[in-house]
C-alpha cells in the first residue's frame, strides 16, 4: 500500500448545507475521512465587489479566485508539498496550470460539479449582457486549463462526460454521481391525510428553479387537485409573481426544510435547464418521497420512472400523473428509499471516492 503524504483541498467556502454547498462540503468530508491528519484546506469566498469581480474576470479568474490567492497557494505548497491537490470546481483552471507548471509531480484531481461553461452560456442566452459574456469567456478559458493540466478529472454523469469530450476533447477519468447524507427519521413521517393532496417544490431562487416553477404555476397548478408549497431560500421575494393560483403557496426561506418534506405527499421537479445532477432529486429519494420531474431533474439517476413517481416533460404529463394519485398512500415511497440506499447515499459515494486515490 502506497504511503500518502497528504492532500490539499482548494475550493470555495460553503457556509450552508444546501444546493451546491452540499456537494462541496461532502467532498471535503470525504477527503478528510481518507487523509485524516494529512488533509489541509485553502478555501475562499466566491462573492466579491462588482468592480473587483470584473477585473478578475478580465484576467481569467472566476468564482472567487484571484492572483493573490494563487500566489498564497503556491507559497503554501512550497512550504509543504502534498501528494494530491483536490480542486473543487472546473472553473479554477488558472491555479491548476500554475501548480502543474511549478510542481509537475503533484497529482491534481479536479472535480467537475457540472460543465460550467454550458451553465454560464445558458445564463448568457437569457440575459445578453456584457458582464455575462465576459464571465462565459473566462469560464471557458479556465475550464479548458483545468482539462489540460489536471491529472484526474471526476464528473457526475455520462451527459457531462459527453459534453466534456465534445467541447474540450477529453473525457472524465471517473464518474461519481451526486449523493446525499442520510437524514431520514421514520418517527417524523406524518401519516395524517390532508384534506387535499400536498405537493412540494424545494430549491433556492436561481434562474433554472425560478423559470421551472413559474412555468408549473402557469401551466399545471390551475388544473391539478393538489396544493403546492414552494419552499427555498429567497423565494419569498417573488411571492406575488408565483401565487397566481389559489392552490399555490410560497413559503420561501425556512430553518427546517425537512418539516415540509415529511409533510408533503409528493415532490415536483419541473426543471428544464442545467447541467450536472440535481441534488434535490437525491434528497427526495433519501426521504422516500415520490417525485414527478422532468428529464433534467432525473438526469444521471438510474431509476424506474413509474415507481419513483413519474417522468413529466409537458404540462399534460404533470397534470395526468398528479391527478392520477390515489389518496395519500404515496407519502412514503419505499422504492425511492431503497434506490437511495443502493446508489445515492454518502456511504456508497465514499467507497467509490476512496478508490480514485492510490491509497
Q: What is the pLDDT of residues 91-113, one digit of tens each?
A: 999 999 999 999 999 999 999 99
Residues 171 and 67 in one domain: yes
Residues of the chain predicted below pLDDT 70: 1-4, 15-20, 327-330, 359
Where among 127, 143, 176 does a domain terminate?
176
Same domain, 172 and 208: no
Q: How far apart are CA 185 and CA 171, in angstroms?
A: 39
Within this chain, do residues 244 and 128 fall inside the same structural domain, yes or no? no
Query: Torsion angle, CA of 174/114/160/97, rounded to 10 degrees?
Result: -60
Domain count, the chain: 2
Same domain, 195 and 111: no
Residues 163 and 204 in one domain: no
Q: Do 50 and 155 have their domain in common?
A: yes
Residue 353 covered by a domain: no
Half-sphere exposure of 160 (CA within 13 A, CB side): 29
DSSP SS3 for 8: strand
247: in domain: yes
- Beta carbons of 292 and 322 less than 8 angstroms apart: yes
Q: Decide which of 148, 176, 204 is a domain's last residue.
A: 176
Same-domain pairing of 140 and 216: no
User: Is 198 found in the same domain as 52?
Assistant: no
Does residue 231 lie within any of the structural domains? Answer: yes
Q: Are residues 29 and 170 in the same domain?
A: yes
Residue range of the domain that includes 289: 186-344
pTM for the whole structure: 0.86
In a domain, 109, yes or no: yes
Among 150, 103, 110, residue whose Cα is nearest residue 5? 103
Of 154, 176, 198, at which residue does a domain stop?
176
Phi and psi torsions of 49, nearest 5°? -55, 150
Which CATH number covers residue 207?
3.40.50.2000
pLDDT computed for residue 1 by the predictor: 45
The whole-number pLDDT of residue 258 equals: 93
- One domain for residues 12 and 151: yes
Q: Are residues 211 and 150 in the same domain?
A: no
Asked if residue 322 and residue 193 are part of one domain, the reply reads yes
Residue 2 in domain: no
**Domain contains 319:** yes
Amino acid at each position: 500500500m502506497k504511503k500518502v503524504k497528504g492532500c490539499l483541498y482548494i475550493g470555495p467556502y460553503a457556509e450552508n448545507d444546501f444546493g451546491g454547498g452540499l456537494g462541496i462540503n461532502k467532498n471535503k468530508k470525504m477527503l478528510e475521512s481518507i487523509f485524516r491528519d494529512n488533509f489541509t484546506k485553502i478555501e475562499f469566498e466566491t462573492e466579491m465587489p462588482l468592480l473587483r469581480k470584473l477585473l478578475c474576470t478580465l484576467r481569467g479568474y472566476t468564482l472567487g479566485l484571484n492572483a493573490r490567492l494563487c500566489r498564497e497557494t503556491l507559497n503554501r505548497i512550497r512550504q509543504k508539498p502534498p501528494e494530491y491537490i483536490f480542486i473543487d470546481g472546473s472553473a479554477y483552471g488558472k491555479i491548476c496550470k500554475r501548480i502543474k507548471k511549478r510542481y509537475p509531480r503533484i497529482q491534481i484531481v479536479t472535480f467537475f460539479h457540472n460543465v460550467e461553461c454550458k451553465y454560464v452560456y445558458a445564463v448568457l442566452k437569457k440575459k445578453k449582457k456584457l458582464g455575462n459574456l465576459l464571465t462565459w469567456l473566462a469560464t471557458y478559458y479556465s475550464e479548458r486549463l483545468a482539462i489540460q493540466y489536471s491529472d484526474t478529472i471526476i464528473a457526475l454523469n455520462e451527459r457531462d462526460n459527453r459534453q466534456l469530450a465534445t467541447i474540450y476533447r477529453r473525457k472524465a477519468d471517473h464518474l461519481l454521481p451526486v449523493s446525499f447524507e442520510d437524514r431520514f427519521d421514520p418517527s417524523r413521517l406524518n401519516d395524517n391525510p390532508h384534506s387535499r393532496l400536498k405537493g412540494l417544490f424545494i430549491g433556492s431562487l436561481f434562474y433554472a428553479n425560478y423559470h421551472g416553477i413559474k412555468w408549473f404555476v402557469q401551466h399545471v397548478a390551475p388544473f391539478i387537485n393538489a396544493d403546492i408549497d414552494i419552499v427555498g431560500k429567497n423565494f419569498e421575494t417573488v411571492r406575488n409573481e408565483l401565487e397566481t393560483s389559489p392552490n399555490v403557496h410560497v413559503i420561501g426561506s425556512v430553518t427546517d426544510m425537512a418539516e415540509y418534506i415529511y409533510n408533503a405527499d409528493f415532490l415536483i421537479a419541473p426543471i428544464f435547464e442545467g447541467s450536472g445532477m440535481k441534488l434535490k432529486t437525491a434528497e427526495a429519494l433519501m426521504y422516500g418521497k415520490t417525485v414527478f420531474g422532468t428529464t433534467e431533474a432525473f438526469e444521471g439517476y438510474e431509476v424506474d420512472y413509474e415507481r419513483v413517481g413519474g417522468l413529466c416533460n409537458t404540462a399534460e404529463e404533470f397534470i395526468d400523473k398528479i391527478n392520477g394519485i390515489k389518496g395519500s398512500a404515496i407519502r412514503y415511497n419505499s422504492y425511492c428509499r431503497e434506490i437511495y440506499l443502493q446508489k445515492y447515499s454518502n456511504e456508497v459515494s465514499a467507497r467509490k471516492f476512496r478508490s480514485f486515490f492510490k491509497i
